[in-house]
Amino acid sequence: MTIHHGIIDAIGNTPLIRLDRVSELTGCEILGKAEFMNPGQSVKDRAALFIIRDAERSGKLRPGGIIVEGTAGNTGIGLTLVANALGYRTVIVIPETQSQEKKDMLRLSGAHLVEVPAVPYRNENNYVHVSARLAAELAELSPNGAVWANQFDNVANRQAHVETTGPEIWQQTGGKVDGFVSAVGTGGTLAGVSIALKERNPHIAIALADPPGAALFSYYTSGELRSEGSSITEGIGQGRVTANLDGFTPDFSFHIADDEAIPMVFDLLEHEGLCVGPSSGVNVAGAARLAGQLGPGHTIVTVLCDYGTRYQSKLFNPDFLRSKGLPVPQWIEGSNPLVH
């Protein structure tokens, strides 16, 4: 028996779950790292903890200080929960298009939430730049100082996956792992796990699963940062090579559209009881694609990034799905007590 002293000890060491249907379909062992079982219900708890510990070590984050971050939500949730446990406060800047559930979670956890219009990174009012400016202002104004978490270009984020996620996958599979696939928000998960696994076995295939609207699929296949289309996924879809992706190149890149990813999310819930968010659908669809490349008999790991109820008002809302031209599963349309 183990007693965790605070939520910080409960971050990481998540189960690795065999995904039966996609495994049977592909003839591979497809395994999902259940990151939704972290205290903040997402993979970003790991990065949040490493970023905060790094800021403490460098002396930039002082007792009672403020952590400022621009985030699609999950990093903000992780930062706020860890901050609460360690006596810091958070100011979170979020694009207004992100799910209401994530905003609610941030507010109820005590974050000071700043909603901004969703504009591209090249616009100075993009949430990342707003958060950087706010951090600089608060560092001057606040008696205990403020730090900018800067998850995209702060490699303490990637280091969380080099030191925890990657080694856990290696240990849980007993080193019997042939491939790893993940979507990219900051790139911390994909590049960090890649570093850890390649260090142990350079033959492990690493794959990017990119949604429409992201530019990395094009970058890694043609050398050009180009993006097209859009996606209902949140927290993924990067338009540039972040510092966390520095020095990283995937062995395979896949482009996964919503009509491939979202049915995967419903399939996991309906048939396996796994309630995950849209980015996990991109990841599992990506794992199936990698299985197609490697052939049957291989073991492929991917990430179940966050919990599905975080997107209830979108993913499980027939009107929203229809407005995006996505199929509505019959059990959601019909007798699901969550939506009636």
Which amino acids are annotated catalytic? 44
Two structure tokens written together for 209:
């699963």
147: nearest Cα among 78, 238, 79: 79
Give me the least distance between CB of 151 and ligand PMP, in Å please: 7
- In degrees and rounded to multiples of 5, residue 207 shows phi and psi of -130, 140
- Residue 40 vs 179, nearer CB to ligand PMP: 40
Q: Is 329 near ligand PMP (CB under 6 A)?
A: no
Q: Is 86 near ligand PMP (CB under 6 A)?
A: no
Which of 66, 111, 204, 236 is in the footprint of ligand PMP by CB under 6 A?
Answer: 236
Which of 29, 39, 40, 44 is in the footprint of ligand PMP by CB under 6 A?
Answer: 44
Cα angle 59, 64, 69 (rounded to 5 degrees) comes to: 75
Q: Is 154 near ligand PMP (CB under 6 A)?
A: no
Q: Is 242 near ligand PMP (CB under 6 A)?
A: no
Which of 183, 193, 284, 301 is in the footprint of ligand PMP by CB under 6 A?
Answer: 183
Q: Where are the alpha helices (DSSP H) in the chain?
A: 20-26, 44-57, 74-86, 100-109, 127-141, 156-160, 166-172, 188-200, 216-222, 258-272, 278-294, 312-315, 318-323, 330-333
- Residue 183 vs 207, nearer CB to ligand PMP: 183
Query: First-to-last CA distance in the chain?
Result: 42
- In degrees and rounded to multiples of 5, residue 302 shows phi and psi of -140, -175
Contact mark string toward ligand PMP, 1..40, x via CB under 6 A: ----------------------------------------
Q: Is 189 near ligand PMP (CB under 6 A)?
A: yes
- Residue 298 vs 311, nearer CB to ligand PMP: 311
Restricting to residues 258-277, which ones interact with ligand PMP according to CB under 6 A? 277
Return d(Cα 31, Cα 269) in angstroms, integer. Answer: 15
In what helix (H) or strand (E) does residue 207 lie, and over which residues does it extend?
strand 205-210
Which of 32, 65, 166, 187 is in the footprint of ligand PMP by CB under 6 A?
Answer: 187
- In degrees and rounded to multiples of 5, residue 263 shows phi and psi of -60, -30
Q: Is 184 near ligand PMP (CB under 6 A)?
A: yes
Q: Is 185 near ligand PMP (CB under 6 A)?
A: yes
Q: Is 235 near ligand PMP (CB under 6 A)?
A: yes
- Residue 53 vs 62, nearer CB to ligand PMP: 53
Q: Is 135 near ligand PMP (CB under 6 A)?
A: no
Count of residues that bind ligand PMP according to CB under 6 A: 20
Give me the least distance between CB of 280 and ligand PMP, in Å please: 7
Quickly list DSSP for 243-301: GGGTT---SEEEE--HHHHHHHHHHHHHHH---B-HHHHHHHHHHHHHHHHH-TT-EEE
293: nearest Cα among 170, 219, 220, 205: 205
Give the residue closest to ligand PMP by C-beta: 235
Contact 280, 287 (CB under 8 A): no
- Residue 186 vs 299, nearer CB to ligand PMP: 186
- Residue 128 vs 145, nearer CB to ligand PMP: 128
- Judged by the rule CB under 6 A, the positions of this chain that interact with ligand PMP are 42-44, 72, 74, 183-190, 234-236, 277, 279, 305-306
